[in-house]
Structure 1
Amino acid sequence: MSNEISISVLIPVYNVADKVEKCLSSLFDNDIIEKCEVIVVNDCSTDNSLEIIEDFLRKNPSCKIKLINHKKNMGLACARITAFSAAKGDYVICVDSDDWVEKTYLSDLYNLAVKTNADIVGCDAYVDFPNGKQIISHENLSESGRECIKNIFINKIHGYLWVKMFRRKLAAENNVVWIPNINMLEDVVFDVQLFYFAKKISYIEKPLYHYLQNSGSYMNSKVNLNKAEQLVSAMDFIQSFLLSNNDSELLESQKIEKLYTKLIILLGGTKEVRRKYISIWTDCNSRLKELNRSFFIKMILRASGKNEKLAWLLLESYLMAANLYRRMRKILDKK
């Protein structure tokens, strides 16, 4: 590697006073941290997150952190943009400030990237619940970026950036970006661009990251109008990106992702949301037969907090209505 800094670790921080110290401690316990830069962007936290970070630095003077304070709250996407703009590492990885990592998280991913000359390397992760944990596998990461995008669309690959270390120049030279004000599915927006330009992808079958499942998080509350608009903007950006590259095959594959997103909006949203978006993306209804219903129920429950019986009822009602609409359209089109 030509760069003195091997890895840039990007950490947006907003109101995580009870978790950020564990996050930082786990990172600085990594075995190649001396080859890394840790860039923390405090997005105007209203709790004492900033004081805890500064206190961590006082207690651990050998831990080098580039601390950047936003002058106003700008959201996750903008915090990552700020951090990435300051990055100098050969490779970049994003860490959420309420999570923590294994001791070989950085070295295992980086060493694999160097060994295979990969643009992107991925790993597995733990989902930590109050009463246990489960493993998120990324075995469907393929050496083909296009296949990875298809697997993202059908939810065989999770969008999470914290299990993917990527070459900084790959993103910088191809203008791969986060979109300001899109803080839902922002990882999927970034992933699609990143994988589109990647030439080599590698994977290590090892859980190295601990994702804290928080039932009170932004993602786990009801889909209001603001969230719905962000979800729609995310899908529209991906569609525009694929259109700009004249990629009809991936545009067709995106329909299943649009279908999942549409159902999250309609079934997990407020009445105002349903009224506004009831007729959105009718083209994606052609992929209804491919819907993984059990997986999708989990998404509805996560997005809206509805009980499981109600979620199943809502989904089955929508599917019946959509199928009836399709049949009526066929009849009308023949006349």
Structure 2
Amino acid sequence: MTCKNKTCHEIEVSVIIPVHNSEEWLDECLKSVLDQDFNGKIQVSIYDDCSIDKSWSKLKLWEREFLHNGLDVVLEKSIYNAALGVGYARNRAVKNSSGRFLCFLDSDDVMTADRIRVQHGRALQNLDAIIGSRFVRWPKDSTLRFTKWANNLEDSNQQLYTQAFTSHGPTLIMPTWFISRKTFDKVGGFDESGKGTPEDLIFFYQHLKLAGKLCRCPEVLLTYRYHKNCSTFSVSESVIWDLRVQFLQERIIRNWSSFTIWNAGKQGRKLYRSLSPLNQKKVIAFCDVDVKKINQGFYIYEHSTEIPKPKVPIIHFTEAQPPIIICVKLDLTDGEFEKNLELLHLQEGVDYIHFN
């Protein structure tokens, strides 16, 4: 990146904020930027993606506030007649920025005062990593299972990597991301396909494909807001499924000669049908606890073009041979599934992978 601003070399961290109809939350969000206790030079780079509320008016007021307090500010307003999406807005804000590090912040979320200082310290030791953090959800009773899962992933035993295939999305939640500009440029920015595209998951997977690292600060550094207008609700479930299956096959299954799918029901069979013909042949069994499914003896893939149709045994989970792909959701069986898994004395990431 070529910097035309004579002071840009002094900017250590650029806070990247995409905005679209965020009038309701902007004051709290932007005040949390102003309240940072970081001693280095901070820049705020905001792109307004065709807001039709009073977001732009608020941004202009905050621009004066930031400048008065010594923060560098870059504002850009879309010239288009329709919003082009979060991926495009983030890329524009990054392009307009000049910091050595990028701190991503959604316009409806709120940072703790120590966020930049804490994550910057970790980033200096992990220049090729996406740095995340724990978070609190607001309202407090929203997405309880998701929040528990994300905040309790154990960095020490590689769960940030081994659980990257689950339906929850990136193991580091996007609004907590803090990365070097070099890492961002290496990935090539966010997908700009627009509404319905999981641009954060695409970026996350590409980062891992390029041998990028993951790191999470143990501190809670963000309040992550949940509401009916969250961009998450516009994302296509089928697109996410296809991305997950593709990444699972490229990252894991290609290295296995055979494997078992834990779940002979709907999700396990869906995964089987989604695999390439080559990888379907690697499935030696489905395993389950349901006696009715086990008594069926086999799953026959009736829609296959092969003759005879593929016929996969269904066995009790205690007979399953690793490696295993688990298609059972966590925290939904009062701990019974977790106890069953523990009985097998298997190692996550080696003997099994979660795909739930």
Q: TM-score range by the shorter chain?
A: 0.5 to 0.7
Provide the rounded CA distance (Å) in 2 between the counterparts of 1:46 and 1:33. 36
* Superposed counterparts of 1:146-225, under 5 Å: 148-154=160-166, 155=168, 158=171, 160-181=173-194, 183-220=196-233
CA offset digits 1:263-290 (Å, max 9, x no partner): 7xxxxxxxxxxxxxxx998235979869
Match 1:121 to one of 116, 120, 131: 131
Cα distance change on mapping 1:182 and 1:217 into 2, 3 Å: closer
Provide the rounded CA distance (Å) in 2 between the counterparts of 1:198 and 1:142. 18
The corresponding residue for 1:31 is 37
Residue 109 of structure 1: how far off its partner (Å): 0.4
Q: Please say if 1:111 is aligned against 2:121.
A: yes
Residue 17 of structure 1: how far off its partner (Å): 0.5
Match 2:19 to one of 13, 21, 26: 13
The corresponding residue for 2:99 is 89
2:208 counterpart letter in structure 1: F
Residue 103 of structure 1: how far off its partner (Å): 0.3
Q: Is the 8 A contact 1:11 1:40 kept in 2?
A: yes
2:86 counterpart letter in structure 1: L
Identify which range, 132-141 or 104-113, moves more after superposition.
132-141
Match 1:282 to one of 265, 273, 280: 273
Cα distance change on mapping 1:32 and 1:215 into 2, 3 Å: same
2:96 counterpart letter in structure 1: A
Provide the rounded CA distance (Å) in 2 between the counterparts of 1:101 and 1:288. 45
Q: Percent identity?
A: 19
Residue 57 of structure 1: how far off its partner (Å): 2.4
The corresponding residue for 2:154 is 140
Q: Is the 8 A contact 1:119 1:198 kept in 2?
A: no
SS in 2 for 1:71: coil
Cα distance change on mapping 1:200 and 1:185 into 2, 3 Å: closer
- RMSD between superposed Cα atoms in Å: 4.2
The corresponding residue for 1:70 is 78
Provide the rounded CA distance (Å) in 2 between the counterparts of 1:47 and 1:156. 30
Residue 249 of structure 1: how far off its partner (Å): 3.8
Cα distance change on mapping 1:156 and 1:11 into 2, 3 Å: closer
Residue 27 of structure 1: how far off its partner (Å): 1.0
SS in 1 for 2:103: strand
Cα distance change on mapping 1:142 and 1:219 into 2, 3 Å: same
Q: Please say if 1:328 is aligned against 2:300.
A: yes
Q: Is the 8 A contact 1:149 1:192 kept in 2?
A: no
Provide the rounded CA distance (Å) in 1 between the counterparts of 2:213 and 2:172. 18
Gaps of 5+ in 1: 221-225, 253-258, 264-278, 291-315
Provide the rounded CA distance (Å) in 2 between the counterparts of 1:148 and 1:70. 36
Provide the rounded CA distance (Å) in 2 between the counterparts of 1:209 and 1:61. 24
Q: Is the 8 A contact 1:75 1:183 kept in 2?
A: no
Cα distance change on mapping 1:328 and 1:91 into 2, 3 Å: same
SS in 1 for 2:300: helix
1:283 counterpart letter in structure 2: S
Cα distance change on mapping 1:26 and 1:167 into 2, 3 Å: same
CA offset digits 1:158-203 (Å, max 9, x no partner): 3522222122112313435324225442211111112333454433
Q: TM-score, normalised by structure 1?
A: 0.66
Name the structure where strand makes up a greater proportion of residues.
2
The corresponding residue for 2:50 is 44
Aligned residues, how many? 273
Q: Is the 8 A contact 1:242 1:251 kept in 2?
A: no
SS in 2 for 1:68: strand
Provide the rounded CA distance (Å) in 2 between the counterparts of 1:99 and 1:289. 42
2:58 counterpart letter in structure 1: I
Residue 53 of structure 1: how far off its partner (Å): 1.1
Name the structure where helix makes up a greater proportion of residues.
1
Q: Is the 8 A contact 1:138 1:157 kept in 2?
A: no
Provide the rounded CA distance (Å) in 1 between the counterparts of 2:174 and 2:110. 14
